Amino acid sequence: MHPDSPISATLVAWGNAWLAGHVGLDEAVDRLERAAGPQVVSSEVTETPLRGFLADLRVEGLTALRLALPSTGDPLGLTGPPPFTIAAVDAGQAATAVLPDRCLGLVPSPDRRGSSYSGIRWTAMPADPTPPDVPGLAEAEHALTIAMRAATDALLSVEGPVAGQPAIRTTDDGLAPGYPARAHRVAALTARLASVLRLAGERGLTSGQVAVRAAALRDLDRAVRRARVAAHNALIEARHTSKP
């Protein structure tokens, strides 16, 4: 799954807003279900509706949800173990639930049953409790700005995106109430850029131009994923920096 607005990002944003007291659990899960349909969590022996699963984790001391947006060779937001990392890289996304004595990885996949049921199945598995090496919001925004400039220069050198493609606009940054304004700004920009990256084409280019374009888009994709992770983890970052 590689949608422009990953469902893992929605889970992390609204889950953290719920944990911080900005929204209720029902509101958070309703937002997820509006985005992608019914949500269940499966483990080796059980299948539980997401609403009940999150409520149970809260009783266990759930403190935060972290976003992972990995790609092959770039396990962004992950620290293992291998089964979780492999599943998350295959999906292109995951969330990590942080508990007092452990972490739990959640990897989404389409859940279709019959002709009318379409939702999301989250597979729960152990995750390494070591915090991942991900940028803070300010660092990620700065890196994204640099990557945008570099990509613009590279794309202009090969005549840029294909003429006639419609402009990409979005008003939904994917974040929930309680997030800082900077996080909303960065998240909105990453949503727009994710759409541009998805639609970027290579028609009418020479092999050398294709290589230049591919490198520019690859670097921009990396910066977009890091900025999106930083924006969705901003509530956690703000909570940690506010502690004495």
**What confidence tens digit (pLDDT) does each residue in 81-118 have?**
999 999 999 999 999 999 999 999 999 999 998 888 89
pLDDT of residue 166: 42
Q: Which two tokens stand for residue 153?
A: 């220069």
Cβ proximity of 45 and 53 under 8 Å: no
Place of tokens 């990392």: 85
pTM of the predicted model, to two decimals? 0.84
- The closest of 172, 141, 156, 150 to 220, measured between CA atoms, is 150
Q: How far apart are the first and last CA of the chain?
A: 40
CA distances in angstroms from 133 to 54, 66, 77, 104, 113, listed in the order given: 25, 12, 7, 17, 38
**Dihedral (CA of 54, 60, 61, 63) sign:** negative
- Compute φ and ψ for 123, nearest 5 degrees: -95, 120
Which positions of the chain have pLDDT values less than 50? 1-3, 160-171, 244
Percent of the chain predicted with pLDDT > 70: 82
